[in-house]
Amino acid sequence: AQSVTQLGSHVSVSEGALVLLRCNYSSSVPPYLFWYVQYPNQGLQLLLKYTTGATLVKGINGFEAEFKKSETSFHLTKPSAHMSDAAEYFCAVSDNSNYQLIWGAGTKLIIKP
Amino acid sequence: DAGVIQSPRHEVTEMGQEVTLRCKPISGHNSLFWYRQTMMRGLELLIYFNNNVPIDDSGMPEDRFSAKMPNASFSTLKIQPSEPRDSAVYFCASRAGSANTEAFFGQGTRLTVV
């Protein structure tokens, strides 16, 4: 069965510092991986996704994530945090055995001035 | 496309009343999801439709909840009777139906049952 684990329900970084949000998945077949962002009082919107090909994927707002099959990970990074990045981030997995999206519990990113 | 459209955006109702939430998916998308989000339980999948047919409703909390998708452009989630513990934000999302495509979310309906 598929599952997604996001390490840390809350992550706090200083403005300008590196952002690293962790996501590990389990899937018995090649996965499709997604990161979403949710700003307060809004729906979830796609940041980036990995389907096939290049394992380093770039998304909106300067975020990127790298698919590492050997580590079953898809961590999200951004070199320099902005105050506007404060939001909740969700990792999700899908594969051809199950068209549903399986979601992680989410990580709230807090940006310190 | 205007994206996934949900109505109403906010709903306040009294315990025991019937509540109906509505969703219009993106045209051409053949998968539709209803989610519930609360502080305590996070994001929960309630039900999933593919080509208007319910595929997995194991997340529907109890018989008070029902969902329909009479056609490809409309879905409803009904709670009857509503209870205070149903207070949450309910999201509808649609997807093109392939496992490698992303889901698009509506803005949500914030339900408060008093």
How many CB atoms are closer than 10 A to CB A52? 9
DSSP for residue A71: G
pLDDT of res. B78: 98
Instruction: Output the pLDDT for position A83.
Output: 97
Which residues in chain A have their CB less than 8 angstroms from residue B56's CB? 100
Tell whether A60 is within 8 A of chain B (Cβ). Answer: no
Is B98 an 8 Å CB contact of chain A?
yes
Mean of per-residue pLDDT scores for chain A: 93
Cα-based distances in Å from B60 to A110, B28, B38, B92: 32, 26, 15, 14
Q: Which pLDDT band, with edges at 50, 70 and 90, does A30 fall under?
A: confident
Residue B1 above 90 pLDDT?
no
Confidence grade of residue B38 (pLDDT, cut at 50, 70, 90): very high
Dump pLDDT digits (tens) for A50-94: 998 899 999 999 999 999 999 999 999 999 999 999 999 999 998
Q: Which residue of B has its CA nearest to A49?
A: B102
Structural contact between residues A4 and A104, judged by C-beta atoms closer than 8 angstroms: yes
Tens-digit pLDDT profile for residues B52-99: 999 999 999 889 999 999 999 999 999 999 999 999 999 999 999 788
Q: Provide the token pair at A59.
A: 């998304």
* Distance from C-alpha of A39 to C-alpha of A89, rounded to nearest angstrom: 9
Q: Contact A38/A22 with Cβ under 8 angstroms?
A: no
Across the interface, whether the CB atoms of A94 and B45 are under 8 A apart is answered no
> What secondary structure does DSSP assign to B30-92, as a single string?
-EEEEEEEETTTEEEEEEEEETTEEEE-TT--STTEEEEEEETTEEEEEESS--GGG-EEEEE
Q: What is the pLDDT of residue A2?
A: 82
Q: Scanning every residue of chain A, which has its alpha carbon at the shortest distance from the alpha carbon of B48?
A: A100
Q: A46 in contact with B at a CB cutoff of 8 Å?
A: yes
Inter-chain CB proximity A101 and B103 less than 8 Å: yes
